[in-house]
Amino acid sequence: MAVHSRQPGFFQALLTFGLIVITIGIGLFILQTSLHSLMLLCLLIAGVSARCLGADYYSIKKAMNDGIHGALSAIYIFILIGVIIAAFIESGTLATLLYYGIRLIEPAIFLPAGMLFCTVMSLATGTSWGTVGTAGVVLMSIGESMGFPTAVVAGMIISGASFGDKMSPVSDTTNLSAMTSKTDLYAHIKSMSYTGGPVYLLVLALFTFYGLNYSDSVLPAEHLELLSEGLRSTFSISLWALLPLLAMLVLSVRRVSAELAMAASALVAVLLAVVLQGQAFGVVLNSLFDGGQIRSGVAELDTLLERGGIISMMWTLSLSLIALALGGVLDRFGFLKVLIVGILSRVKRAATLVATTIITSLFGNMGMGEAYMTIILGGQLFGEAYDKKDIDRSVMSRSLEEGATLTTALIPWTTGGAFFASTLGVSVLEYAPWALLNWMNPLLSIVMAYSGFALFRTRRVNRAIMDRRAVS
């Protein structure tokens, strides 16, 4: 039977969270310890701290289970993305996109064109994960074949996908931020455009500048032609091979659940692998677990095609399970809530409130391993503070999105960071400096807040200002 526990004090909450951050920092950057082992130590720290509050083993275990249960959809998507990548390789979908990408896209415009494509795809489908797991894998292959650094390409993909996701009216995090902040969805999107729009254009310009200056260093045309011929000799290059991608896009736009859209896309890809590519049905099914096993005779091409499969997501999945269990303990026993409430009591300025929202959302992601829980908790705790300072709730929803949705890609043990790293084959620490939008947007949003830009006031305050002007 679960034992009732008390709430932690501010000092205990700060100590618990501080020990977790220190453990990860020392283990990751100094001792270079496995992230899984570090997260287990952090889970132990949180469990001992919860026990000091009077919680018994069963209460702590239930909190861990609840943390994992709240993100089951993400776990299903991890598995399905591995399946989709393998199916796209076997069906020739990846090969067809790679073939036309190499032949049609000029290296000088690859980075800005790729970023725009990822933005549009995420905007249409409402999912950065789906974009990274499909278009992102293709763009990584094209970028590698052209000779671009993988960290730069990954950063470009994540920047474009993340912006499209947070600006999409069909995105789950966009709707969640508006709902928990009790503001209109389109007021929330409009508010984000004031801070996110200028940053997006700046990041697009930076990638354009980098691409133009790096294009002289890409692989020679003869090498790209060798890759193209390798693809043509190994696969049946045809527009029919794009049917799985089209199926997923159509289903996503029609608001079919992500899991069903991915499963349907993978099924179409499996059928095409047998019918169009002439693969043995048993071999295709095995690849869904083991990943692509196609040999083209071109070493670099084989490296690009040996991806995917459920097994490729196991590192990500196991890390996420531990991180989500940790987040469940920190959430259930109020550690993060106590910290936020304690910090809010010291906030005086409206701009500081915006900065606090963004920074605590970042730390919320670090503690709970997932943006959804951070957004929900922030919506519950920050609303009254914004009302007291007469700041429109669309500013709060925007700050939650920038602090939670964008920064999850920059933290190795969050579901987002682990997923992007595993899918693109580049570690978070490598691509994070190049995920320009994900860290520049929150930083510049704080700077804009202190300059007074886009700090929208409530209608009550606006009416009072207009009345004063009328009297004068």
Q: Please write the tens of the pLDDT for every residue from 296-338.
A: 667 667 776 777 888 888 887 888 888 889 888 988 998 888 8
Task: Please report whether residue 17 resides in a domain.
Answer: no
- What is the average per-residue pLDDT within 180-202? 93
Task: Determine the pLDDT at residue 220.
Answer: 64
Q: Which domain covers residue 211, as residue numbers?
A: 72-471
More confidently predicted of 103 and 42: 42
Collapse the DSSP code of 457 into the 3-class scheme (helix H, G, I; strand E, B; otherwise coil) and give the result.
strand
Task: Please report whether residue 54 resides in a domain.
Answer: no
Task: Please report whether residue 9 resides in a domain.
Answer: no
The terminus-to-terminus CA distance of the chain in angstroms comes to: 68
pLDDT > 90 fraction of the chain, expressed in percent and rounded: 37
* Exposed / middle / buried, residue 106 (Cβ in 10 Å: 0-12, 13-18, 19+): exposed
Q: Are 267 and 285 in contact (CB under 8 A)?
A: no
Over residues 387-410, the pLDDT tens digits come to 989 999 999 999 999 999 999 999
Its pTM stands at 0.82
How would residue 352 be classed by pLDDT, with cut points 50, 70 and 90?
very high
- What is the average per-residue pLDDT within 199-223? 83
Residue 280: other Cβ atoms inside 10 A: 10
Task: Please report whether residue 301 resides in a domain.
Answer: yes
Structure tokens at 48: 């001992």
Structure tokens at 246: 């089209």
Q: Are 374 and 331 in contact (CB under 8 A)?
A: no
Task: Please report whether residue 19 resides in a domain.
Answer: no
Task: Please report whether residue 59 resides in a domain.
Answer: no
Task: Please report whether residue 22 resides in a domain.
Answer: no
Task: Determine the pLDDT at residue 295.
Answer: 72
Structure tokens at 213: 């200056």
Structure tokens at 281: 């049905």
Task: Determine the pLDDT at residue 219.
Answer: 60
Task: Please report whether residue 447 resides in a domain.
Answer: yes
pLDDT > 70 fraction of the chain, expressed in percent and rounded: 93
Average pLDDT over all residues of the chain: 86
In angstroms, rounded to a whole number, what is the distance separating the alpha carbons of residues 280 and 221? 34
Over residues 242-275, the pLDDT tens digits come to 899 888 888 877 878 778 888 999 999 999 999 9
Domain count of the fold of the chain: 1
How would residue 209 be classed by pLDDT, with cut points 50, 70 and 90?
very high
Structure tokens at 106: 């000029």
